[in-house]
Amino acid sequence: MLSESQPAAPTGRDALRRIRSGAIFGTLLAAGPLARTDLAHRTGYSPSTVTGIVQELSEAGYLRVVGQQESTGGRRRTLIELNRSAVTIAVVGLRGARIWCAVIDLEGTRLDSAEQEFDPQDPVGSTASVVMTLHRRAGIPPVHVVVALPGVVASDGSLALSPAFGPVAHLRLADELEAATKLRTTVENDVNLIALGERVDGAGNGVDDLVLIHIAEGIGATIISSGEVLDGASRSAGEIGFLPQGLEAGPHGDRGDFEKRWTAAGIQEEAARLGLVLPHETAIEMLCATDSTVARQLLDDVVRAWAFAAIVCVCVVNPARVIFSGDAVALGEQARQQLRDRVQSAAPSPTEVVFAELGNAAILHGAIARVVKAPAVLFAGAVG
C-alpha cells in the first residue's frame, strides 16, 4: 500500500511520457523532417507510441507536417518536422557599459530586444533584469537563456578573466541566473558563440577545422576541431590576447599585453601618441582611409600583429581556415590582402584567410547552435 508521501502512478507515467516526448523532440531537432516510422526506428519506440506523442506535440504547435516522402511501392509517408518558430530563447551580451538581450526563435528570427545600463557590481541582477523585461512581454516566452560572456567559463561553471563583467571570482553565473529567472541558462564565451554562428551560417560554413580570431574590446580566438569547440583543460583555449610581445613573457594579470596593444582601443592610443586622431567607433576604418606615412606605418604594424596571432594558431592547430571577425572586418581590401599574404606566406600548411560575414548576428546564430546540442533542456522548458 502506498503511503501519502510516495508518488502515485500517474507521476511515473508523466515522467515516462516526458522522456519519450523529449526523445522525439530532440530527434526531429537534430535530423528532421522524418516520417513516423523513421522516428520509431531512431527512438526505439513503438509506432503507436510515436503516433500518440506526435499528435500531442502537433496539437501543442511544436510539430508540423511538411510534405510526403516519395513512395518505393507502398503508401507515401507523411514527413514531420519541428516547428522552430514555436520555441524561443533569450540571448544576452555586453556592449560597452550596457547589457542587451534579444529573444529569437530557433530559425534565428529576432522577435524582441532590449538594452539597459549594466551594473558590474551586480552582474546577476543586471542580467536577470533585462531577461525578465523581455520574458514578461513575450508572445512566446523564452525557454532558455544563453549568456555571451567576454571571459572564461571554467568547467565547474565559475567565471574567470572577465573584467567587463565585474568582480566575478567564484561566481557561477548560470546557477545564479537560473535561481533568479527560473529559466535554464547556458553561459558561454562570446567568441565561441561567434565562431559557432559563423561556422553554421557564415564564413566558416561547412568547415570542420577552423580558427576564428575576434578583435573587439579584447582579442580572443576560438578553435573548432572536427566540428567541435576545443575548450582546453580549464576551458581557456584560444586566449591569444595573452601572447607575449617578445620572448620575455611577464605575469598575465586580467588582460594580456598583446590584447592591450592591438585592440582598437590600443591602436587608437598609439595613433594619438603619433599625432593621429582616430574616432573610437571607426578607428580601423579611419586608419585605412588616412593617407599619410605615419598612418600607413601604423596600419602595417596592425596587420603584422594580427597576422602573428593567426600564424601562431595555424602552427599549433593546423586549421583549414582562419576567420577574422570584429574590428578586423573594417580593414580595407588592400589591408585584408596584406593580412592574407602574411599569414599564408608564413604558415607551414595551406590555410584560407577570410573575414566574418554575420556581424552582430553571429552570436545569435551561435547561441542556437549551442543549445540545439542539448535538446532535452529545450524540450523541458518548451513543454514543461
Strand partners, 355: 324
pLDDT at 2 over 50: no
Q: What is the DSSP string of 173-237?
A: HHHHHHHHHSSEEEEEEHHHHHHHHHHHHSTTTT-SSEEEEEESSSEEEEEEETTEE---TTS-T
User: pLDDT for 263-316, tens place per residue?
Assistant: 999 999 999 999 999 998 899 999 999 999 999 999 999 999 999 999 999 999
Measure CA 115 to chain center.
19
Contacts of 269 (CB under 8 A, 6+ apart): none
Give the closest residue to 282 by CA, choosing from 271, 273, 292.
271
Distance CA 299, CA 314 (A): 22
pLDDT of residue 74: 60
List domains and CATH numbers for the chain. Answer: 13-82 (1.10.10.10), 86-193+363-383 (3.30.420.40), 205-357 (3.30.420.40)
Residue 1 has a pLDDT of 35
- Are 67 and 79 in contact by the 8 Å Cβ rule? The answer is yes
Q: Average pLDDT over the chain, rounded to whole?
A: 88
Residue 148 DSSP SS3: strand
pLDDT band at 125 (very low <50, low <70, confident <90, very high): very high
Position 162 scores a pLDDT of 74
| Residue 68 banded pLDDT, cuts 50, 70, 90 | confident
Over residues 33-54, mean pLDDT = 92
Which phi and psi angles does 97 have, rounded to 5°?
-95, 15
Residue 262 has pLDDT above 90, yes or no: yes
* Confidence band for 8, pLDDT divided at 50, 70 and 90: very low
Residue scoring higher pLDDT (137 or 12): 137
The rounded distance, in Å, linking the Cα atoms of 194 and 191 is 5
Between the two ends of the chain, the Cα-to-Cα distance in Å is: 30
Interval 325-359: pLDDT, tens: 999 999 999 999 999 999 999 999 899 999 999 99
